[in-house]
Chain A
Amino acid sequence: MKPDTEVVHAANALTSWTNGVSAEIEDLSRNVASLLERNLVGKPKVDKAALAGLDKLSREFLAKNTFAVGAGTFFAHASVEEGGRTLDWWSRKGSGSVGRLDFDLTPGSNRYYDYEKLPFFSTAASTGEQTLWGPYIDYLGFEEYILTFTAPFSVHGTFTGVAGCDIRIKDLEPLIMPHLRGIPGDAALVNASNRVILGNSGMYLVGERIKSGSPEQHRMALDVPHLGLSLIYTSTRHTS
């Protein structure tokens, strides 16, 4: 079946929105990498001096990209000198100002935030490509219901960490719902693990997994590299 014009329009809009975010993340990670290469001047491990100016990149990112609630860099522990700061993450506070987010990074502690095991880090590290993780509750991290976009970066040819941003699900909804609402039937943006990011009716609720597709359920992959996003749609709209 050939998809309706509305579905194509919505898919194009979502693709273009997501590619816009991806381009910003690509820029951020490239800027982080070049700043580190300049600051490190040949030193093998990231130390305090190497981080100079890193906060400015996150702040600028957040000032420009109002859709994001947080942005920054997570380093691979192996690329940081003993006892050094392994992450630099900034997020919006209730007051509208931007502040540094602190995590418990003591292995074995009750609230240890083991970010290297989280998919936004591990997938980017293992594939060497941009990745999108969520919707998820970032327990012990930002502790909200969010999406995280990250891109890996290398310094002098060695994988060093990931740079990226968080988007609150609550903030994402008004940005992309108008596109989904343009589709007359039930439709949802789903992630690579078939989890709904946002649906246009009660039929597809954020966070739910799309199980075995019914015959009238169609899928269109979005032309967004590496993120595995698709648009799921049916020809009729659910009514409660």
Chain B
Amino acid sequence: MASPTPFESQIYRSLPEIERADAIVDRISTAISLGLLKVGERLPPEAALSEMFGVGGATLREALGELRERGIVETRRGRSGGSFVVKQPQSQTDAIRDWFLSTSISEIRDLGDEHSAIAATTIRLACERAEAHDFERLQELARALVLARTPEVRASADSRFHIELAVSAQSPRLANAEIRLQEESVQQLWAPLGVPLDPETATAEHLELVRAVAQDQPERAQKLALEHIRRNIFHLIDTKLTLGYSQSIQEPNEARH
């Protein structure tokens, strides 16, 4: 058979078997990092988790075992027992550094292109569909970013704002796309590598977005959302350049390839 093209490989990619437990660990860790699950929160019972993830009991127990080993969850016995989130996953600075080194500028630009497409429509729909209580909630979420003291909490506050903005647009598909895009980039954005992003600027931009949505100004809201993404993408590229290409070549007259 002809070797599959990358598009075909994407369609027919094998369904993970062994990595299902790892996928559960990642999913739960990311949810905690993003603040979707909070410290102290109880995970659903094992039987419910197995069913929702669509895995057998053994795979689920393997995943919970790994999460316990990492000190992220704790399982308590008894009537008020269950698996509880006990701490944030470790700061993933090394993993994030690897991401910057292995991701090219063209791929970062492409991530921004997709994010712009999703955000442009999301914000327009939010203008049409969000209501008063959404505005208050979004303002509160926007302010949470400037109050955050660590990169992890900032990442989680930032992504929470954008996900809730997508939620206010009433489209589950767009909200899911926003969640995926946030998972792919928000930790990189706030990681303490290179020049740090200013939480005050980001918060001011978020509040501007809420104002435009509240005043039902779709053109303005879309413009702000696109500028916001563009600035974030520039920041990721600057960090990439700082980490990957900090040294310039002084004697460039060498033909190497």
B3–A178 CB distance below 8 A: no
Asked whether B81 is an interface residue with its Cβ less than 8 Å from the other chain, the reply is: no
The CA-CA distance from A144 to B6 in the complex, in Å, is: 8
Chain A residues within 8 Å of B107, by CB: 170
A202–B234 CB distance below 8 A: yes
Chain B residues within 8 Å of A140, by CB: 5
Total A-B Cβ pairs within 8 A: 92
Q: How far is the CB of B241 from chain A (nearest CB, A)?
A: 7
> Of A7-15, A31-39, A124-132, A221-229, which binds chain B?
A7-15
A205–B249 CB distance below 8 A: no
A21–B257 CB distance below 8 A: yes
A178–B2 CB distance below 8 A: no
The CA-CA distance from A27 to B48 in the complex, in Å, is: 64
B248–A178 CB distance below 8 A: yes
The CA-CA distance from A20 to B255 in the complex, in Å, is: 7
Chain A residues within 8 Å of B252, by CB: 9-10, 12-13, 178-179, 182
Residue of B109, B247, B257 most packed against chain A (CB within 10 A): B257
As a 0/1 sequence over residues 179 to 212 of chain A, the CB contacts with chain B under 8 angstroms (1 = contact) are 1011000000000000000111110011100000
Given contact pairs A16-B253, A21-B257, A135-B106, A182 touches B248 in the complex (Cβ within 8 A): yes
A17–B255 CB distance below 8 A: yes
* Chain A, interface SS category: mixed
As a 0/1 sequence over residues 239 to 257 of chain B, the CB contacts with chain A under 8 angstroms (1 = contact) are 0010011011110111111
Of the four ranges (under 10, 10 to 19, 20 to 34, 35 or more), the interface on chain A belongs to 35 or more
Given contact pairs A202-B233, A202-B238, A207-B109, A182 touches B250 in the complex (Cβ within 8 A): yes
B104–A12 CB distance below 8 A: no
Asked whether B148 is an interface residue with its Cβ less than 8 Å from the other chain, the reply is: no
Asked whether A174 is an interface residue with its Cβ less than 8 Å from the other chain, the reply is: yes
A13–B106 CB distance below 8 A: no
B6–A201 CB distance below 8 A: no
B257–A13 CB distance below 8 A: no
B106–A12 CB distance below 8 A: no
B257–A206 CB distance below 8 A: no
Q: Which of B110, B237, B241, B257 meets A20, CB within 8 Å?
A: B257
Closest to B231 in A: A240
B257–A178 CB distance below 8 A: no
The CA-CA distance from A144 to B9 in the complex, in Å, is: 12
A102–B249 CB distance below 8 A: no
B249–A13 CB distance below 8 A: yes
B249–A207 CB distance below 8 A: no
B7–A169 CB distance below 8 A: no
User: What 9 pairs across the A-B complex have the smallest Cβ distances?
Assistant: A13-B252, A202-B234, A102-B2, A240-B234, A170-B104, A182-B248, A16-B255, A181-B248, A178-B249
**Residues of A bordering B, CB below 8 Å:** 9-10, 12-13, 16-17, 19-21, 65, 67, 93, 99-102, 135, 140, 142-145, 169-170, 173-175, 177-179, 181-182, 198-202, 205-207, 238-240
In addition to A9-B252, A175-B257, 11 A-B residue pairs with Cβ atoms within 8 Å of each other are A10-B252, A13-B252, A16-B254, A17-B256, A21-B257, A65-B257, A100-B3, A170-B107, A175-B256, A178-B252, A181-B249
